[in-house]
Amino acid sequence: MLFVVKTVLALETSCDETAVAILRAGDDRSKELLASEIASQVAAHEKFGGIVPEIASRNHLIYAPQLLGRVVTAARIDFSEADAFAATSGPGLASSLMIGASIAKGLAIGFGKTYIAINHLEGHLLSPFFHGADGGEQIKPNVSLIVSGGHTMSVLVRGLTDYELIGRTVDDAAGEAFDKVAKMLGLGYPGGPEIEKRARVGDSNRFDLPRSMRDSENFSFSGLKTAVRYLLPKIEERRLTQAPYKLDERVL
C-alpha cells in the first residue's frame, strides 16, 4: 500500500547519545529540518573509560521524553501532525536501540501512524545529501567511508537502497582502537579527541607502529592496539606524548 509521508518524528538511541528530530518534506521534494535535539552521556560514562550499556539505556529513558517535548515545541507542531514515527533499529547496543524503537512504535500505535525502522549506517551514507532538493533522486554514485566507535567500512553507493560493501574491519573498529589505547595511556574518555589533541604536538618519527592489511580492501586495528600495549613498558613517561601521534597517523 502506497502512503505519503511528509512529516517524520525520529529518535536515535543506538549507543550513548539520545537524539530526536522532526523532518518535513515539501511538495517539491525539498527537505526541512524543523527541530533537532541531542543529549550527550559522555559525563556519565567517562569514569568507566567506556560506554556501559545499562547506564546508556537508562539515560535514554530519562532524556528521550525531555527531547520529545523540546522538538515539538520548537517545531510548533503536535505529535498527531506527524505522518510517521521513526527510530534507529540497528546496528547498535540492543538495550539502547530498544528504548528509541519502543517509544517510536508506541507513538505510532497511539496516533495511528506509520512506524519506520532505520538502519543508522544507511543514515550515515545518506546524510551528505540531506540538503539536496530532489529527494533520493539526487544521490550520486560515490564511495563512502564510515568510521565510528563501532564500525569501520567502505561502501559503494550506487543510489538509494543500492549499496555494495567494499571493505570492513576484520576485528576492532577505528574508534574502538582509539578508546582502548587512550585508556592504556591514562587519557580521558572519549579517547579519539584526547589522542588527536596530543598527536598535534607529537613526533611522527619517534616510534614505529605497524600498518596492517596494506594490500587489502579490509581494515585491521587490533594489531596496532597490541603493538602499543607492548611498546608502553619500554618507553619513558616523558615520551608517552609521542605515542598518540603515531597511533593517529597509522589509523588515519
Same fold, 7-132 and 140-252: yes
pLDDT at site 248? 59
pLDDT tens string for the chain (252 positions)?
A: 455 679 999 999 999 999 999 999 877 767 889 999 999 999 999 888 889 999 999 999 999 999 999 999 999 999 999 999 999 999 999 999 999 999 999 999 999 999 999 999 999 999 888 765 554 457 889 999 999 878 899 999 998 899 999 999 999 888 888 888 888 888 888 888 888 888 887 777 777 888 888 889 999 999 888 998 888 887 765 455 555 555 555 555
Residue 184's identity, in one-letter code, is M
Residue 175: per-residue pLDDT: 85
Copy the grid coordinates of residue 141.
Answer: 554514485
Contacts of residue 137, Cβ cutoff 8 Å, sequence gap at least 6? 29
Q: Residues 42-45: contacts with CB within 8 Å, 24+ apart?
A: 42/16, 42/189, 42/190, 44/16, 45/16, 45/189
Q: How far apart are CA 252 and CA 247, in angstroms?
A: 8
Query: For residue 118, which of 133, 104, 135 has the smallest C-alpha distance?
Result: 104
| CATH annotation of 140-252 | 3.30.420.40
pTM above 0.85, yes or no: no
Largest CA distance in the chain: 67
For the segment(s) 7-132, the CATH number from 3.30.70.120, 3.30.420.40, 3.40.50.720, 3.40.190.10 is 3.30.420.40
Q: Domain coordinates of the chain in residue numbers?
A: 7-132, 140-252
Burial class (CB within 10 angstroms; exposed 0-12, middle 13-18, buried 19+) of 188 = middle
Query: Does an H or E element contain 97, and which?
Result: helix 94-110
